[in-house]
Amino acid sequence: MVNKKIKVLQVVHGLAPGGIEAFLLNIIENIDRDKIEISFAVAAMGKQFHEERVTALGIRVYHTSDLNGIKNIIIHFLKLVKLIKLEGEFDVVHSHIDFFNGINLLAAFIAGVPNRISHSHNTNSAHAKNVGATISIRMYRKVMRSLINILSTKNLGCSSEANIYMYGKKNTNKNGNNVIFNGINLEKFSKINEEIKDFKIDESKINFITIGRMCEQKNSLFIVKIVNELSKVQNNIHLFWIGKGPQEGEIKKMIEEYGIEDKITLLGNRTDVNCILNKMNFMLFPSKWEGLPVTLVEAQASKVPCFISNKITDEVNIGLCTALSIEENEKIWANNIFKYIKNKNYNKKIDSKILDKFDIKNVCRIIENIYLKV
């Protein structure tokens, strides 16, 4: 007798380049698909950046609606309920849309899904930075947190801080240990001398890299300021920037105003991040908030020391992270970075026991066990 596959619906905001998407792509490419059948419900219209990569694995992708405005949110909710009922027999709904998980879990509950998982991937939100929206955001979070904690059958998160942010301290260990580190393919990022097809890197320079969406969360404008100060202290530096986003126009303007066009190369979205990382000397990552950025795990697996903000959880440090205060200005960041480069032995050893926790094979076994226990 053939055992029935566990059917899991992943509910996501999109399949664009990003940390959540990278985590889920790693999961679906390494999970035992003989035991677990995964589908995606995407809260976005239009073909997504990673959609072909997902469908090539035989995984179905359903589009509901964009989430901009009450009308579209209602459309998303109704389509999600209908999708779950019509496609039917989903054993698990696993939601990854921040506090909006509450709405997704409600749809799953109404549709009769017995196992409803909320997954926290962050420790803050850009919306919460809008002072005028503070009261409404607090109310939204309070209502959604209640919905999540009532309707979820398991709370998961990428770090301890991410769990506290979404669920509150008393619900962070609902139904067991719920920290699931963002796993990566260690073999992929440990390879060296992979060729980059469309451009050359001058390895005689001190090459920095930053990877992430060009937005407030990633502190993108501050990155430009740091590079400007770095170039004043040491002319032989260069930053490669992987990513796009809403602040791209401001970034380009600032680069031009500082006159550092020769110090920064904007690469846009890439699929060969591992090849580029292996050519880098250092990573620059001064985010204002994060859950647990998979990019930092990838960088350290590639033996790239990382300069990160003190707002990023210590759980990401495998041995090559140096935290600097986000309260300090770009001059202090630049000075501290060059002191480190000049005076420290930055060929630190990676903690192999911690690194193993990020091995996608180990992470997949944990996720599989969660699904299979249903």
Cα separation, 151 vs 116, in Å, equals: 7
Cα separation, 103 vs 31, in Å, equals: 27
Tell me, what's the pLDDT at 111? Answer: 96
Query: Which of 326, 318, 328, 324 lies closest to 340, judged by CA?
Result: 324
Query: Which of 123, 171, 126 lies closest to 145, judged by CA?
Result: 171
Contact by Cβ (8 Å): 10, 119: no
Tell me, what's the pLDDT at 17? Answer: 83
| pLDDT tens track for 182-234 | 888 888 887 666 678 888 899 999 999 999 999 999 999 999 999 999 999 88
Residue 179, helix vs strand vs coil: strand
Helices 19-30 and 360-372 pack at an angle, to 10 degrees, of 80
Joined tokens for residue 88: 């039917």
pTM of the model: 0.82
Tell me, what's the pLDDT at 1? Answer: 41
A 10 A CB-CB count for 52 gives: 11
- The neighbouring-strand residues paired with 283 are 209, 306
- The neighbouring-strand residues paired with 285 are 308
Tell me, what's the pLDDT at 347? Answer: 60
Q: How are beta strands 282-285 and 237-242 bridged, if at all?
A: unpaired
Tell me, what's the pLDDT at 126? Answer: 56
Residue 225, helix vs strand vs coil: helix
Cα separation, 366 vs 30, in Å, equals: 12
Sequence-distant (≥ 6) Cβ neighbours of residue 215 within 8 angstroms: 126, 245, 246, 247
| pLDDT tens track for 56-98 | 999 999 999 999 999 999 999 999 999 998 876 899 999 999 9
Helices 248-258 and 220-233 pack at an angle, to 10 degrees, of 20
Joined tokens for residue 298: 């990838």
Contacts 24+ apart (CB under 8 A), 345-354: 346/305, 346/320, 348/305, 348/319, 348/320, 349/319, 350/300, 350/301, 350/303, 350/318, 350/319, 350/320, 351/318, 351/319, 354/317, 354/318, 354/319
pLDDT along the chain (374 residues), means of 10: 82 89 91 94 91 93 94 96 88 96 97 96 65 73 94 93 88 68 86 77 95 94 98 94 96 98 96 92 95 91 94 92 96 94 72 89 94 86
* Residue type at 184 in one-letter notation: I
List C-alpha distances in Å: 25 to 63, 100, 140, 158, 212. Answer: 17, 21, 30, 15, 17
Residue 94, helix vs strand vs coil: strand
Tell me, what's the pLDDT at 346? Answer: 60
Biggest distance spanned by C-alpha atoms of the chain: 70
Residue 259, helix vs strand vs coil: coil
Tell me, what's the pLDDT at 173? Answer: 61
Cα separation, 352 vs 8, in Å, equals: 32
